[in-house]
């Protein structure tokens, strides 16, 4: 039962432009959402998170938006840099349950 | 502060065998979680240990078991291996308070994973 979906397996953008990665979820009870970045041969690294009581969280070039009514999450990277090229996973969880659910990932390529 | 390490990097086993995967958490991290990542999918939660006790389990059968040791190392054991067990196995450590409400916001630090192939 795949409760978190990333429908775009890949995304390619030009350096300096905006990257928008999308994520949809089905469980309206999720309290907390996270984005992870993964480089080849490395484990995922935490990027940014957002609580269900908020609709936006910003950290430097990275902003996460949450639309609870649409059960949709997005990550905006502005401006995109070649070093941002990686696989991005969105994840969702409940505060009282440590079973974190991940999407299948989106491979972002930022071209110089 | 050292990162999270896992061993071995790669492993090949045959169906029916048993395997032990190892993880070394960051010093001071009381919580370790294990994930299975099949090809083309995201990580799937197997279980979590907090101070050497299992603290939650995903939808995995009992032949997946674990241990956590006081020296911040842990093991994932899989018995009676099946072909579908072929995957990347990730461990992730976090500071951990043991409180359910804190777990979600506690940053997890992932190791690079062990690639298991079952033939």
Is B43 in Cβ contact with A102 (below 8 Å)?
A: yes
Whether B16 and B81 have beta carbons less than 8 Å apart is answered as yes
A33, A39, A100: which to substitute to probe chain B, counting the most B Cβ within 10 Å? A100
Q: Give the model's confidence band at B99: pLDDT under 50 very low, under 70 low, under 90 confident, else very high.
A: low
Distance in angstroms (rounded) separating the CA atoms of residues A96 and A10:
32
B7-42 pLDDT, tens per residue? Answer: 999 999 999 999 999 999 988 899 999 999 999 999
More confident of the two residues A28 and B100: A28
Write the DSSP string, chain B.
----EEE-SEEEE-TT--EEEEEEPPTT--EEEEEEE-TTS--EEEEEEETTEEEEE-S--TTEEEEE-TTSEEEEEE-S--GGG-EEEEEEEE---S-HHHHTTSPPEE---EEEEE-
Whether A103 and B44 have beta carbons less than 8 Å apart is answered as no
Q: With the CA atoms of B14, B34, B62 and B15 taken in that order, what torsion angle do they form, in degrees rounded to the nearest 10? A: -10
List all residues 6 or more positions away from B2 whose beta carbon is below 8 Å from its beta carbon: B24, B26, B27
Whether A66 and A43 have beta carbons less than 8 Å apart is answered as no
B34-77 pLDDT, tens per residue? Answer: 999 999 999 999 999 999 999 889 999 999 999 999 988 999 99
A77 to chain B, closest Cα gap in Å: 21
A48-101 pLDDT, tens per residue? Answer: 999 999 999 999 999 999 999 999 999 999 999 999 999 999 999 988 778 899
Report how far Cα A30 is from the mean position of its chain's Cα atoms: 15
Question: How many C-alpha atoms does A73 have within 13 Å on its Cβ side?
Answer: 31
Per CB distance under 8 Å, which residues of A are interface residues toward B? 4, 6, 31-32, 36, 41-46, 49, 89, 91, 93-105
């Amino acid at each position: 039962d795949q409760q978190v979906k990333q429908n775009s397996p890949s995304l390619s953008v030009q350096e300096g432009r905006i990257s928008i990665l999308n994520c949809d979820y089905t469980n309206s009870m999720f309290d907390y959402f996270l984005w992870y970045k993964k480089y080849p041969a490395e484990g995922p690294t935490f990027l940014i998170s957002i609580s269900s009581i908020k609709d936006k969280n910003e950290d430097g070039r990275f902003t996460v938006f949450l639309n609870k009514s649409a059960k949709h999450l997005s990550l905006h990277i502005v401006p995109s840099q070649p070093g941002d090229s990686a696989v991005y996973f969105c994840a969702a969880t409940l505060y009282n349950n440590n079973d974190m659910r991940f999407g299948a990932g989106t491979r972002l390529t930022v071209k110089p | 502060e050292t990162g999270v390490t896992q061993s071995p990097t790669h492993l090949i086993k045959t169906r029916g065998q048993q395997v032990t995967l190892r993880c070394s958490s960051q010093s001071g991290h009381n919580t370790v979680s294990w994930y299975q990542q099949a090809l083309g999918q995201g990580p799937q939660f197997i279980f979590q240990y907090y101070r050497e006790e299992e603290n939650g389990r995903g939808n995995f059968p009992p032949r997946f078991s674990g241990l956590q040791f006081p020296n911040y190392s842990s093991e994932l054991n899989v018995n009676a291996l099946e072909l579908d067990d072929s995957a990347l196995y990730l461990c992730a450590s976090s500071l951990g308070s043991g409180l359910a409400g804190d777990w979600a916001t506690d940053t997890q630090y992932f190791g690079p994973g062990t690639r298991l192939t079952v033939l």
